[in-house]
Amino acid sequence: MTLCRSTSRTSPHRLEPNGPRPARLRQNGSVDTSDTYGREGTTTRDVEAIRAYGAKHPDEYVDVRGERQDGFTLVALFTGERCEDHEAALRQLVSRPDRFEVRHLPFSRAHLDAVRATIADELRERSAAAPPGEHVWNSIGNAGGVVQVSLSASQEVLAADLRERFGDAVDVQLGRPVGLSGFAPPTSAKAPPEEPLPWPDDLVASLEEPLAVVSGRHVVTTLHVLNRGARTYVALTNGHLPARVVDPETLETVGGYVGFQAMPLDRFILEPGTSTPIPLLVGASSATGPGVATGIWAVVATLRCEDAATYVTPPFEVSVLPRED
């Protein structure tokens, strides 16, 4: 029986020290120190080759992912006792064998798929039975040799139950969606967003009713925007404005809606002399706990307009109420 490197959630880095990466030589003999491997799709061919090889060994192949430590490395994940054999074969297929390794995992892809299917069925049932405004889960998928599950920040009991039942086969996170791809395609660098502008003097924003939300849940209310000026604003939304719960004194964000949202492009035209209702999504979840602490807070929302300007609404008082269950 051959032994090979292993990986686990508690030890995500390599168990062997990284050796020096060989420099590449240009045709003129000078050393090329640039490192473009892993950028702008340069690994696509290698990833496809690893996946094609894995398809021929479905009982042992698990996944492939990219890692950046001291340079970019492709990591193929296998279960079983033949990791060294798979590594030797794959090194003949990839373009940068010096940037490639195989790691051992305790769970096969078939086992992870079965765990994911079981959990997904349970999450759908819980969502169907949840009270209005109760958000149960964000995402679920296989990545990195485990089933990654993202639950609403209020689902601490469910998270503990899943960890107890499925052990190291699951990675459960609270409050934030997780990435579902073990190998994410490269993305181009984007310029940082511009700071939102103060709310325009010619727009009057108001809520149609006192605002209250249960900690860890969400509500949809209506923001009315009265245009008292001569200029027309065109607000770009996905059907509503997501609000942030903030500290009323510092305006520091303490929570909001956590979860996936549909992304249609809905325009709200704020014409002079008219009041326009816009749905406002107010969530009281927190990425660091079961929900925003009960008490009096404030909410603000960002209005993005067609001319690329963004404006932050005035803060509105919100009462965060305790959960009854």
76, 102, 119, 147, 216 from 113: Cα distances, Å: 18, 21, 10, 8, 30
Mean pLDDT of 301-325: 87
CA 306 to centroid of chain Cα atoms: 27
pTM above 0.75, yes or no: no
Domain boundaries, the chain: 33-104, 109-174, 203-321
The pLDDT confidence band at residue 289, using thresholds 50, 70 and 90, is low
Are 278 and 236 spatial neighbours (Cβ–Cβ below 8 Å)? no
What is the CATH topology of the domain spanning 203-321?
Answer: Immunoglobulin-like (2.60.40)
Mean pLDDT of 164-193: 57
* Interval 52-85: pLDDT, tens: 998 898 888 888 888 877 788 889 989 888 999 9
Residue 193 vs residue 141, higher pLDDT: 141
What is the CATH topology of the domain spanning 33-104?
Answer: GMP Synthetase; Chain A, domain 3 (3.30.300)
**One-letter amino acid of 274:** T
The pLDDT confidence band at residue 8, using thresholds 50, 70 and 90, is very low
Sign of CA dihedral 71, 76, 81, 85: negative
Chain mean pLDDT for the chain:
78
Q: Could you tell me whether strands 295-305 and 253-256 are parallel, antiparallel, or unpaired per DSSP bridges?
A: unpaired
Which tokens hold the place of 129?
């039975």
Are 209 and 187 spatial neighbours (Cβ–Cβ below 8 Å)? no
pLDDT of residue 38: 77
Which tokens hold the place of 64?
């492939």
Tell me the C-alpha distance between 9 and 284, whole Å: 30
* Interval 193-202: pLDDT, tens: 457 888 999 9
DSSP structural state of residue 198: P
- Answer yes or no: is pLDDT of 182 > 70: no
The pLDDT confidence band at residue 151, using thresholds 50, 70 and 90, is confident
The values of phi and psi at residue 309, to 5°, are -80, 145
